[in-house]
């Protein structure tokens, strides 16, 4: 007797033999972007995003494709004339450990440099990955306003365990704008002198 059940088709081979394409996001990318980001958000690794938020910030996003498949995404979000955040950063779980994240973070850093930023930061659980990408740990309480906007709706608001990391892009500019900096000063110390929380006026 022939079974009524059709066997599962074999899984598609991973598209890693195809050249990787890095480009800015377009509106037609919103559906796969939501799947990628909210897949990780569902297991508590990333902040969830809505269609509205992605649409509003679509110009922040740089994407990397393996063939037609969205392999990774990352956003560069500005907070001041000199500082931006790399956020909503993810690589398709089936395509990790092939250099895709490294390529994407460099594309975002190049974009930050083109905009003349002095530093970029990220909040992350993957300290090793960002360390490889030239970031160093920073004290979270000293980072800019973002934090208070996004964190307010984060499920981990009271128990945040993400690490703040920064990559200084233009130490000389930083020095010129913010006075003499000790040659021995670490990127963290330089960053601290630049990005302080605002004083709340009563």
Ligand X SMILES: CC(C)(COP(=O)(O)OP(=O)(O)OC[C@H]1O[C@@H](n2cnc3c(N)ncnc32)[C@H](O)[C@@H]1OP(=O)(O)O)[C@@H](O)C(=O)NCCC(=O)NCCS
Instruction: Return residues touching ligand X (CB under 6 A).
Output: 40, 45-46, 89-91, 96-102, 122, 124-126, 128-129, 132
CA-closest candidate to residue 188, choices 170, 172, 165 = 165
| DSSP state for residue 151 in the 8-state scheme | H
Among residues 42 and 196, whose Cβ is nearest to ligand X? 42
Among residues 30 and 163, whose Cβ is nearest to ligand X? 163
Query: Minimal distance in Å, beta carbon 9 to ligand X?
Result: 27
Residues 120 and 166 sit within 8 Å (Cβ to Cβ): yes
Query: Minimal distance in Å, beta carbon 100 to ligand X?
Result: 4
Tokens representing 110 are 């190049």
Query: Minimal distance in Å, beta carbon 102 to ligand X?
Result: 3
Whole-number Å distance between alpha carbons of 167 and 92? 24
Among residues 65 and 129, whose Cβ is nearest to ligand X? 129
Query: Minimal distance in Å, beta carbon 129 to ligand X?
Result: 4
| DSSP state for residue 37 in the 8-state scheme | H
* Residues near 132 by beta carbon (within 8 Å), at least 6 away in sequence: 102
Among residues 122 and 168, whose Cβ is nearest to ligand X? 122
């Amino acid at each position: 007797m022939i079974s009524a059940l059709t066997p599962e088709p074999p899984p598609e081979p991973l598209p890693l033999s195809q050249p990787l394409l890095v480009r800015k996001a377009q509106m037609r990318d919103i559906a796969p972007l939501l799947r990628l980001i909210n897949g990780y958000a569902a297991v508590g690794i990333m902040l969830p995003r809505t269609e509205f938020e992605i649409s509003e910030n679509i110009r922040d996003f740089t994407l990397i494709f393996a063939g037609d498949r969205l392999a990774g995404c990352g956003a560069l979000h500005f907070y001041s004339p000199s500082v931006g955040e790399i956020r909503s950063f993810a690589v398709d779980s089936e395509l990790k450990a092939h250099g895709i994240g490294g390529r994407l973070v460099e594309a975002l850093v190049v974009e930050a440099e083109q905009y003349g930023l002095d530093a970029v930061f990220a909040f992350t659980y993957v300290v090793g990955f960002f360390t490889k990408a030239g970031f160093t740990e920073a004290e979270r309480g000293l980072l800019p306003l973002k934090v208070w906007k996004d964190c307010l709706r984060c499920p981990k608001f009271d128990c945040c365990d993400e690490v703040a990391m920064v990559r200084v892009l233009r130490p000389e500019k930083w020095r010129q704008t913010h006075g003499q900096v000790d040659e021995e000063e670490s990127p963290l110390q330089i960053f601290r002198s630049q990005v302080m929380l605002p004083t709340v006026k009563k």
